[in-house]
Structure 1
């Protein structure tokens, strides 16, 4: 006797038997009113012609688990699998996901969980964490009587050797963000790259209230950019200007190819097991971490590429053969100098952690020729920190103090020694730079 398929339903639909009428009711207003806001309420909304996903089912029978998406129109889906950790990646055209808050959190069969979001402009992605080795069989697309489209993605359990053969080293078509164009000779203002951590399919830390780190740090990064642009002293670029995934190596590449003078990465930590821990911390790069806690945090942050279903190859961080050790040492000296100025300006306006300046091996801080710091604004697991992180008044004070630290850093600062740059790679999209 075949085991009975178990089905979990998320989103607006509760039963396929009444899909026709409910899909019409659910999609009609959305299609008339235009695209819904971005899922996090920040940045540009989904493309106007994007398909709308209103439900997701997980159903298991035998050794196969099926993920069924209910969409407003047909889309072309492409799948591949990856090892370390075991996961399947489903690439789609841009999709406006309107699913319930519990979508992707339930385990069924070979699927442990899944997450979804914008992976690159015009592209969405679903990353499925696998409970064991499995391959993706042929994806099927069918129409319901009510006009909705069902996309069925079957995951079939296989032996490890078969899974390894099916896996690929990484995404065959990774997203690429283009570095800002080189500065004009007449514009001698320093270029600062502001990096809002995580994004798109990678939410980062998640507060007990459901707030995502990617949303908090993006809002803060935007406020800091506005503050710096208002001074007229700097040119500014962002590694992401919307809720989109950008790999760690790509963030470093953007700063390096733009020949940035400073790179500031914005994050917010979370330790659910220790809600009493709070305060901000400033990190600079080092092969050896200051302490075990810093090492563990860097390890978590360095897994961001895996969360987005991207290859975690070192890429631009392999610098031993292309730069002298002296350049790297000089860059780290500038990074530590800026961290000290930042700590001096932030301490009066925000609570700092017990060790406010630490070092760790963050991949995003490995640029050999761009002074770089990573600022953990606080802990989403701390009630008091979370309240501050959501406060516009607090954000205004902190961004103001960060701007003062940047002013001090560039006041009379010597120029960083740089080797002759290699020609930049051609890429697909542009991170904006202020005029």
Structure 2
């Protein structure tokens, strides 16, 4: 040390530390025995590697990162059947590489390029046995990785209106987010996570315009929330209603229109069953292990959902469908049901609203139209207001 003070360098380092990393280029090569993944960053990335089974996944956890990658940069090949990346939460990003068979990272390194101009993360993966993969999972340290399982909390019978306990609270849940992009538009390639958040904001504003009503967003930015986290956020705020917003895609591109779903152990039809199966994969896409609730808790959840809460949920769904009739295009049999995990709050009446299908060009245009979103949000607000009045009159 020469004793000189260098404040400018310290300020620069502090500024860099506050900025998200930028991943600006990537490539993948290899076969079904060995596969190399290379990602270029603007600064040296700090990263950790984890493994999750069922299916076999390699997780690369990073600090806050902006992914400026082209869609074809990280197309899965070799050992991997799927690669996703995106924000997990504030200050956290993740790359999830789903493998066809057990794999291991045999080499991970960061190389400096051009005297600090860029940094290259290199990951070499190789085929492994199930025993080797299990050993990797057993010895890994998740450190402060937050739990995503539902906590054990007091179960209470739902009170549909709660007029004496403050405002009528509605949780508005924008589906997908962060690393989980959801579906893509057929024309614009718009990601579902942005469509749902735009509409959720519009709906929350419409609901907050109602008398003695307080609506809040489960997420107000492009970040990932697990399905149990979404449910728990509604319960923590003692929400009277939970409305989850989605805009999926179908193989049949001619099908269009809105659908309202409620929870049921048995799906009403194959479309509902397939949709629930896809939506329930959100946690898997983000690299989260699904830990089922203890048997006694699951029994309570199912029992309450079938009885009190499900009745309220069905009434809300009918109110929304009635509000849409003649105003918003609906698919045939617009009230359907299936086993959506995001609708499992035992004491919060819940619906999942498919606004339309991004796989249909006409629906896609409407979903991206601010005037249409405002109109539909107002109709849902009317349905919620009517539901509340009916529930109160019936003994709320």
* Secondary structure of the structure 1 residue equivalent to 2:44: coil
Deviation of the 1:297 alpha carbon: 1.1
**Separation of aligned partners in 2, 1:67 and 1:239:** 34
Contact persistence 1:174–1:310 (CA under 8 A): no
Bigger mean CA deviation after superposition, 131-140 or 317-326:
317-326
Bigger mean CA deviation after superposition, 324-333 or 239-248:
324-333
**Separation of aligned partners in 2, 1:247 and 1:417:** 34
Deviation of the 1:170 alpha carbon: 11
Aligned to 1:240: 219
* Secondary structure of the structure 2 residue equivalent to 1:139: strand
Change (3 A) 1:335 1:222: same
Deviation of the 1:236 alpha carbon: 1.9
**Separation of aligned partners in 2, 1:113 and 1:369:** 36
Aligned to 1:87: 57
**Separation of aligned partners in 2, 1:382 and 1:168:** 45
Bigger mean CA deviation after superposition, 154-163 or 294-303:
154-163
Deviation of the 1:207 alpha carbon: 2.3
Deviation of the 1:139 alpha carbon: 2.2
Aligned to 2:311: 333
Do residues 397 (structure 1) and 381 (structure 2) align?
A: no
**Separation of aligned partners in 1, 2:289 and 2:80:** 21
Deviation of the 1:159 alpha carbon: 1.9
Change (3 A) 1:168 1:268: farther
Of 95, 100, 116, the match for 1:126: 95
Aligned to 1:311: 289
* Secondary structure of the structure 2 residue equivalent to 1:73: coil
Aligned to 1:263: 242
Change (3 A) 1:368 1:152: same
* Secondary structure of the structure 2 residue equivalent to 1:395: helix
**Separation of aligned partners in 2, 1:417 and 1:384:** 42
Do residues 144 (structure 1) and 123 (structure 2) align?
A: no
Equivalent runs, 1:349-360 vs 2, <5 Å: 349-360=327-338
Deviation of the 1:121 alpha carbon: 0.9
Contact persistence 1:289–1:361 (CA under 8 A): yes
Equivalent residue pairs, number: 368
Change (3 A) 1:327 1:164: closer
- The CA deviation string for residues 280-334 of structure 1, in whole angstroms up to 9 with x for no partner, is 1100011111112211111111111101111122349974455694675111111
Equivalent runs, 1:91-170 vs 2, <5 Å: 91-107=61-77, 109-147=78-116, 148-167=118-137
Aligned to 1:408: 386
Deviation of the 1:116 alpha carbon: 0.7
Of 28, 50, 57, the match for 2:20: 50
Deviation of the 1:267 alpha carbon: 0.5
**Separation of aligned partners in 2, 1:219 and 1:322:** 35
Change (3 A) 1:387 1:164: same
**Separation of aligned partners in 2, 1:190 and 1:120:** 28
* Secondary structure of the structure 2 residue equivalent to 1:231: coil
Contact persistence 2:304–2:346 (CA under 8 A): no
Deviation of the 1:237 alpha carbon: 2.0
Of 69, 83, 102, the match for 2:39: 69
**Separation of aligned partners in 2, 1:318 and 1:92:** 37
Aligned to 2:190: 211
Do residues 174 (structure 1) and 152 (structure 2) align?
A: no
**Separation of aligned partners in 1, 2:80 and 2:383:** 47
The unaligned stretches of length 5 or more in structure 1 are: 1-30, 36-46, 180-184, 419-435
Bigger mean CA deviation after superposition, 197-206 or 98-107:
98-107
